Amino acid sequence: MTGRPETHPPIICMGRRENAIRLTALDEMAERRGLKRGQGLAEARAMFPDLDAIDEDEAADHALLEAIADWCDRYTPLVALDGRDGLFLDITGCAHLFGGEEALIRDILKGLFQMGFDVRAAISPSPGLSWASCRYGRGGVIEEEMAEASLAPLPVNALRLEEKLVTSLSKLGLKRVGDLIHLPRAPLARRFGAQLLFRLDQALGSHEEAISPRRPVVVLSAECRLAEPVQAEEHVLEWTGRIASSLTESLDARGVGGQVFELALFRVDGRVFRITAGASKPLRDPQRIAALFGERLTAVHDDLDAGFGFELLRLNVLQHDVLKTVQNDFTGDGEQQISLADFIDKVSARLGMDCLQVFELRQSHIPERAEMFLPAIAAPSPVPETGGIFKPRADRPLRLLRHPEPVDVFAATVPDGPPQRFRWRRVVHEVFRAEGPERISPEWWVTEKDASERDYFKLENRSGQRFWIFRKGHYGPDKVPPTWHVHGVFA
């Protein structure tokens, strides 16, 4: 207890844990009165009737932790979530950019404190030691040679062990990590299991522990920290072009161009905006890259609140592909292709990637599986280079229905003949000519329930309309009656 006056009752968050309502978060006042996380709400109210209890909001807590993780991306792209209230940052190769590890940790703590968060941070050779030092120690920078000395006075809970195992260790007087470090390992493993030694080795750094970043690792990245925050879109685009220029050399050295770019805008108050733009062809030209985001910023104008300005801009290359350099000819065909690619990029950036779609052929016997729609911007070759066009088979209908539509067949030649009359879309058609059947079977690896062989017929009614109809199933005793479907219409 301190001599500071209490200006408000203790505030706690409560939630259901192990079929009981327990304390999940405490303010400073509640901690000074001796309340603990995991304590039952009834016990806490008996101790302090004036307790102010608030229901926890897990979704809001997770969103807040994600927002803090976004803010931490300015220090390293490798940020991982640790449970409900922690973050792991892999700062390997990043500390020198901020003046060393001591300066880096001071900058992080200062920034989060200014945003109203009371946090503790640690930098150490292993994630396990950092986790233990933050939650049960003082935090700070721990050198590799001081790892064992820093870990020894901490309770065994700092090893991230199960509560049952912690209780068993405490009954034997093994309450500190230092009580375990120098004990024979074989008896410990026999009595308490391999998990105890595994966690101990992770904390000491003798067993490597990898963290899983919350965002994919980018291929290439460049950023610019601004002396004065920018707010206007034209200034954002100007700096985007400058950052893209710094990526040109790296892209050129790899012989590639970027296809999917991400612009991360770090606002001065900690909020981060991420804008993604794609190109139909690999790009290396800074002006064309900036133009992509010009269209994208126009589309998301109302959702982009610059506030007091953006202090850090980062351009990431999320996907790239080989960039083929082609010399322009005198006919201007090359310029036309560039013009079409620009059109696809601009429209997709402003209206969304799915607004323009193209066909991509697939190797499948089933007609509806033989082709699929893809966004034009993501197609392997959206701009034809040879001038050729896709020519469908002459024995297939020009109009293929997206999904086969069922029909009612009134008379059919048994067992494998065509129908004599059928009804489709409330219209009855009398069959005048028929050709078939053509049996089409699915690939052997397709296991869906509706993947079965089909018998296709070309039918023509008395008015000259031609249909492509298939029968699924066969006529016969002790068999389920087959079903008929229209799959296409000939010209």
Q: How confident is the model at residue 101 (pLDDT cuts 50, 70, 90)?
A: very high
Q: Would the pLDDT of 452 be above 70?
A: yes
φ/ψ bin of 131: left (φ > 0), alpha (ψ from -120 to 50), beta (otherwise)? alpha
Q: Would the pLDDT of 1 be above 50?
A: no
Higher pLDDT, 441 or 491: 441
Q: Alpha-carbon Rg of the chain, whole angstroms?
A: 33
Q: What percent of the chain has pLDDT over 90?
A: 41
Q: Would the pLDDT of 448 be above 70?
A: no
Mean pLDDT within 43-64: 90
pLDDT tens readout for residues 109-137: 999 999 888 899 999 999 999 999 999 99
* DSSP class of 232: S
Helix, strand, coil percentages, rounded to 5, for the chain: 35, 30, 35
Higher pLDDT, 1 or 75: 75
Cα–Cα distance measured from residue 112 to residue 114, given in angstroms and rounded to the nearest whole number? 5
3-state class (DSSP) for residue 80: strand
Cα–Cα distance measured from residue 351 to residue 366, given in angstroms and rounded to the nearest whole number? 33
Mean pLDDT within 280-303: 83
Length of the chain as a residue count: 491
| pLDDT given for residue 87 in this prediction | 95
Q: Which residue type sits at 438?
A: E
| pLDDT given for residue 89 in this prediction | 94
Higher pLDDT, 191 or 368: 191
Residue ranges of alpha helices (H) inside 300-409 are 333-351
Q: How confident is the model at residue 379 (pLDDT cuts 50, 70, 90)?
A: low
Q: Would the pLDDT of 372 be above 80?
A: no
Q: Which residues contact 152 (CB under 8 A, 6 or more apart)?
A: 176, 177, 178, 181
pLDDT tens readout for residues 338-368: 567 777 777 777 777 777 777 777 777 778 7
3-state class (DSSP) for residue 264: strand
Q: Would the pLDDT of 4 be above 60?
A: no
* Best CA proximity match to 246, nearest among 284, 216, 279, 193: 284
| pLDDT given for residue 382 in this prediction | 47
pTM, 2 dp:
0.68
Tokens of 220: 């290439």
Q: How confident is the model at residue 410 (pLDDT cuts 50, 70, 90)?
A: confident
| pLDDT given for residue 325 in this prediction | 64
